[in-house]
Chains A and B, each alone.
Chain A
Amino acid sequence: MTIASDGVAASAATPSVLLSGITKRYGPVVACDGVDLALHPGRIHGVLGENGAGKSTLMKILIGLIQPDEGSIAVNGDAVRISDPVAASNLGIAMVHQHYSLVEPLTVWENVVLGERARLNREQACTRVAALSDRYGLGVDPLARVSELTAGQRQRVEIIKCLRREPRIIVFDEPTSVLTPAESEHLFSVLRVVVVDEGRTVALVSHKLDEILHATDEITIMRGGRVVGRSRTSEATASSLAQAVVGRPVSLRSEAAALGLIETVAATITDGEAPDDKPQRVATAAPVVLEVRNATVLDVDGHALLDDFSITVRAGEIVGLAGVEGNGQRALADMLSSLVDLRSGEVLVDGAVVDLGRPGALRRCGIGIIPEDRHDSGCVLDLSVAENLVLTDLHAVSGHGLLDRRLIDRRAAELMLAFEIQARSSAAPMRSLSGGNQQRVVLARELSARPKVLIAAQPTRGLDVGAIEYMSARLRAAAESGMGILLISTELEEVLTLSHRICVIHAGRIVGEMSHRDADLERLGLLIGGVAA
């Protein structure tokens, strides 16, 4: 990477990347509108904004996945055209994507060398991976199988894949979205090494305020495809940034939580102000609407995903299930979607045992679900928005086995209005909607069926601030209307903000339970980490 190192040597004042006037349109939608961005060597540059603010588009332009309609790019002062990711790689630009591209059955070193044309040399590749792992303190075993790694370890494999080519400019796209707080902390310390000791340039794309404040040197804030603010991190405050991101003063607590202002949330737990804003205690006399009794679910290899797991949800109560990703949350949601069978145990809805084996059994007896991965079991991407809004309740929109198109369209129009779903029309394919709007379609369908219990699995993952605020408000309103809600989330703040009662899942079991009033961050943290407290 001679070009890059020359640039570094020349002057620290020459930005290693200079994007000027970048504009990208998708039909009437302007994803980036005259964006200027300068990244300097030796610094971490935070790019902050809601989903849809244009951050990802801008970064995809930088690594050559997307061609801009207008604007120019200069790397180390030389104007360049980045026609594809190979060109970007040749310029020393690399990206660690939000979604990992790893082959699960292969080992770490195999994933790292994947795509290389040279002859495979296992020893050499392993040595190389181990060396990189040591240099940055990543702790990655080159012989480990990727399918057995946690999300955080997988990300470190991605980082090794990226660093192996010695890039001078590294883009991290929402790197902490699936990491635990400790893993995030570790990632940021690695970034420091990369930047300070090795003089590389790092761009950190995120919608979380706290990590931008915590880990960066300078900040560019985007909203609606434009740059709406620039600042040195040392001069920025959480509230000034939040205001710039949202475009108006931030007041709601859910919003603050969404932006990652943990101290705000923690404060509401300890102090007694704004009592109306605090989840009310649900009378213990409220009827139990969902009860999972001693459920055990095994994976194909016979490992327990859920191990003698029990939980109850009362009417009008939000139960938060906190825990690190991969501790059985997915199996629980799948089980409550009638997608996997119980090895032992039972599920009761309104006191009656449900026959889990039948497809759709739980939906029929009143369980709604917002699945963790909406593409997997929440919607059908190739059907229209209208069809997705009715697909669990065809009886209501058909007569004598015939679909009533007019009724479907009318119902879709009502729900799209009520849930503020942005789509070209109700006939638009689900695939064409943004993630937030897809999630609203799922929410609209599930809530409009008026279930007794709503399972919300990671309902705000990948959503922007506005959508998170909306989702939180909807969940609260649903609970107030008497629905029982089981909130499965890895975002501790979210669980703390919304839940009346908090349970902690670890290794497929409930390891602790506390009411919202008794919530103690330290104890929660220990429980989540699997330390009995």
Chain B
Amino acid sequence: MTSSATPNAIPTATSPLDARAPGNARVRRVAGALPIAGQYLMSIAVSLALCALLVEVTGGSPGKVLSALLDGSVRSPGSWGLTLSTAAPLLVVAAGTIVAAKAGLSNIGQEGQLLLGCAAAAFIGTRADLPAPLVITLSFLGAMVLSGLWAGLAALMKFTRKVPEVMSTLLLGFVAAQITTFGLTKKWLLLATKNTSRVNNGEQLPDRAKMPTFTLFGNQVSWGVVIALVVTIVISFVLGRTTIGFRLRMLGLNSRTARRAGVSAAVVGGGALIASGAAAGLAGGLWMTGGSAGDRFTSNVSSNIGWQGLLVALLARDRASLAIPMAFVFAALRTGSSFLAATGVDRRITDVVQAMLVLALLVPPAIAAVQRRRRGTEGAS
């Protein structure tokens, strides 16, 4: 796509030296991109070094921590299959976030939307007495509808009462958490019929409601991975190659031009917000039925998948192709962290690593923005 303003697109070759160098624009662009790649490498290195330092000063061994993370995420038998399966919901959340972002809207309520998706999938999965493929399809559809409607509330408030969607999606997330907690107190909703635990938990999911897996080089991989990739590719295609995608991007880039060209912000923007909510719901369905989340609905079942999916989209700078590797990295940090106990380092170190990575990857665009502003107006006039 030619549309998104990437850091590489910022003219980097305006220093006198570069400008004098012969060659066409492409050569200069490649040459100009190198420092940016270097900036990324540098800032990632610095952030990892800081993480290592943190491990060191808290009495751990950075080498052992890295080794344990790699064991847990890719090296030990069967681990990368688990990592891939964990990456699937992250990727779907990110893909949905990208849809909203391209329309110029910030959906940051994925955690709540995903939680509702989990609840819907668990509700349908534990009740529908149907063949397995049908149960899973129904539970995913239910999850998408519920979460889509939830995001639709934010769209409704945005386009009728001008409530900023940043606020409404975020706050609706807390309401969603309250609703599911309430659901866990009622047997006709989510509470297990024979709850033995002190906390209220959901009914155990029957096998027919669980996502099947396939074996790849000795790793069990969830079919959710295939679904996630298909969803991401479809979203990428729709955004780039269809009229509705074009209208959506036009709305995000210049809403007044879009309006004059006949794009209704309420229809297209609202649709984008609902689609991003539905994607978070689908991710909830994938997470709930994928096995990693446990075998039943609990009030904290979403465990930050929504937030991390949002971060994946943020770090991919709203590009679907970059979201795929980013989702894998975040999933690897999740699965890797389970092996950290042996090293004596708190597993929450991975949260720090994630946070540092987010900061590291935000540095180069920030530098570019500052440079662009310093340079003032570009080009001759």
With A65-B376, A401-B242: A383-B381 Cβ-Cβ less than 8 Å: no
Contact B380 A392 (CB under 8 A): no
With A27-B25, A359-B262: A383-B2 Cβ-Cβ less than 8 Å: yes
Q: A interface, how many residues as a size bin?
A: 35 or more
Chain A, range 55-103, C-beta contacts under 8 Å to B: 55-57, 60, 65-67, 69
| Binary B-proximity of A216-244 (CB < 8 A = 1, otherwise 0) | 00000000010000000000000000000
Q: How many A-B residue pairs have CB under 8 A?
A: 125
Contact A380 B262 (CB under 8 A): no
Q: Which of A312-320, A371-379, A498-506 contacts B (4 or more CB under 8 A)?
A: A371-379
Chain B, range 316-348, C-beta contacts under 8 Å to A: none
| Binary A-proximity of B9-27 (CB < 8 A = 1, otherwise 0) | 1000110100110000100
Docked pose: A237 CA to B28 CA in angstroms:
45
Q: Which residues of A contact B264 (CB under 8 A)?
A: 358-359
Docked pose: A216 CA to B86 CA in angstroms:
72
Q: Which residues of A contact B250 (CB under 8 A)?
A: 380, 383, 391
Contact A56 B381 (CB under 8 A): yes
Docked pose: A301 CA to B244 CA in angstroms:
36
Contact B243 A377 (CB under 8 A): no
Contact B19 A25 (CB under 8 A): yes
Chain A, range 389-447, C-beta contacts under 8 Å to B: 391-392, 394-395, 398, 401-403, 405, 424, 427, 429, 432, 434-435
Chain B, range 247-280, C-beta contacts under 8 Å to A: 247, 249-250, 253-254, 256-265
Docked pose: A384 CA to B16 CA in angstroms:
27
Contact A380 B20 (CB under 8 A): no
Contact B3 A376 (CB under 8 A): no
Given A26, A31, A392, A435, which contacts B262 in the complex, CB threshold below 8 Å? A392
Contact A360 B254 (CB under 8 A): no
The reply on A508 being an interface residue by CB < 8 A is no
CB distance from B277 to the nearest CB of A (A): 22
Q: Which residues of B contact A57 (CB under 8 A)?
A: 380-381
CB distance from A367 to the nearest CB of B (A): 10
With A69-B19, A382-B3: A387-B244 Cβ-Cβ less than 8 Å: no
Chain A, range 20-63, C-beta contacts under 8 Å to B: 24-27, 29, 31-32, 51-52, 54-57, 60
The reply on A296 being an interface residue by CB < 8 A is no
Q: Which residues of A contact B16 (CB under 8 A)?
A: 67, 69
Contact A387 B246 (CB under 8 A): yes
| Binary A-proximity of B174-214 (CB < 8 A = 1, otherwise 0) | 00000000000000000000000000000000000000000
Between A and B, 17 residue pairs with Cβ closer than 8 Å are A25-B19, A27-B13, A27-B25, A51-B381, A65-B376, A337-B260, A338-B260, A360-B262, A364-B262, A377-B254, A380-B258, A391-B261, A392-B262, A398-B242, A402-B243, A403-B242, A403-B246
**B interface residues, Cβ below 8 angstroms from A:** 2-5, 9, 13-14, 16, 19-20, 25, 28, 241-244, 246-247, 249-250, 253-254, 256-265, 376-377, 379-381
**A interface residues, Cβ below 8 angstroms from B:** 24-27, 29, 31-32, 51-52, 54-57, 60, 65-67, 69, 225, 337-339, 358-361, 363-364, 369, 376-384, 387, 391-392, 394-395, 398, 401-403, 405, 424, 427, 429, 432, 434-435
